[in-house]
Amino acid sequence: MSGGPIFPSSVFVNQTNGSIFPNFFAGGPGGQGANAVTNQAPHDEGLGVMASLSGVSTFDLRFIVPPTVPSGTMKLRTLALANATTGAGVITVLAANVSGGGNPSLVTLTSQAQFTVAWTSGLAGMYLETKTTFNFTPAGSDVIVMAFQPNGSGWTQAAVSTWIPTLIWE
């Protein structure tokens, strides 16, 4: 049986320069704002990243694994949204699992993946999906400790973007 999505139980913006922030994407074809939508629920909550990011910023995330781990392969499913028709965002993922009684501040995070999401014509306001397979398998009730890092190296997105990370098993 596959499972998820599991959303972060904790999100900490580990940056003070304003490059990353909690965000609400107000969607719609052709741009953000009330005039661009055709329904009464156009907003998505997620992790916001400034336009034209330089450097590396970090969201500290925690995901609580259910007591019974679903069958299949655990993956990070990320949806990205932006009012853009060009540009790319680069995300680096570092993670580890911590069992009950473990110290999340002392665990060594390992590199999981770096992925790029590219916007092209017709993709403004659309969910752009990526899936990243982890290099470890958690046990039931573990906590996944993650550094979700928008990375300015290769970042060409000139619009604010919103990222929605979840855990799934498939």
Helix (H, G, I), strand (E, B) or coil at 23: strand
Helix (H, G, I), strand (E, B) or coil at 34: helix
Residues facing 12 on adjacent strands: 60
Please provide the average confidence, as pLDDT, over all residues in the chain: 91
pLDDT of residue 103: 96
How far is Cα 139 from Cα 117, in angstroms, rounded to an integer?
30
Domain count, the chain: 1
Range of the domain at 65: 3-169
pLDDT of residue 4: 86
Tell me whether strands 59-64 and 10-13 are parallel, antiparallel or unpaired. Answer: antiparallel
Domain harbouring 26, CATH code: 2.60.120.260
Across residues 49-62, what is the average pLDDT? 96
pLDDT of residue 131: 97
Q: Does residue 33 surpass a pLDDT of 60? A: no
pLDDT of residue 39: 75
Across residues 102-126, what is the average pLDDT? 93
**pTM above threshold 0.85:** yes
pLDDT of residue 62: 98
Q: Does residue 29 surpass a pLDDT of 80? A: no
- pLDDT tens profile 60-73: 999 999 999 999 99
pLDDT of residue 100: 87
Residue 43: pLDDT band (50, 70, 90) is confident
Helix (H, G, I), strand (E, B) or coil at 43: strand
